Amino acid sequence: MIMAKFLKSMLVRRVALLLVFSMTIISMAPKVDAAFIPSDESFQTTMRQQDLAVVQKILENKLVKERLQALGYSDQEIDQRLAQLSDDELHQLATQLDSLAPGGDALWVIIAILVIVILIIVILKLTDKKIIIG
């Protein structure tokens, strides 16, 4: 009895209305992401490490390694030449290597073929057509 009376009181209604209003306002606030901005030196170091990792990943490929050995380069010579590259040259090399797809981009071809096959099957089902093989 006391609880029912309490829930029907004007104070509870006002507090509930205030909570609904404040939660509505809070949910409308845009999401903001913040992060530390690295200084130029640390940014260049980070970029150089990322570019070097991209180049090293490509150099670990068996075909690339065999081709470089056929041209007469040892692993030590390759490491020395990479160390001699400036930041801009290394970035340019990493960008060019990153854009190459060693085996082609077969994944997108397979996805495109699957999408076409699925579309043909759906169209045939919608038109009540059947394909008889044999």
- Rg of the chain in Å (alpha carbons): 31
pLDDT at 100: 66
Dihedral in degrees, nearest 10, Cα atoms 104, 108, 114, 119:
-140
pLDDT at 134: 59
pLDDT at 12: 79
pLDDT at 41: 65
pLDDT at 101: 55
pLDDT at 98: 64
User: pTM of the entire structure?
Assistant: 0.44
Phi-psi region of 44 (alpha: psi -120 to 50; beta: other; left: phi over 0): alpha
- Give residue 8's identity as a one-letter amino acid code: K
DSSP letter for 87, please: H
The vertex-108 CA angle with 104 and 109, nearest 5°, equals 80
pLDDT at 95: 83
pLDDT tens for the 134 residues of the chain, in order: 676 676 677 787 888 888 898 888 888 877 777 777 766 666 677 888 888 888 888 888 777 788 888 888 888 888 888 888 888 888 888 888 766 655 556 777 788 888 888 888 888 888 887 777 75
Question: How many CA atoms does the CB half-sphere of 84 hold within 13 Å?
Answer: 6
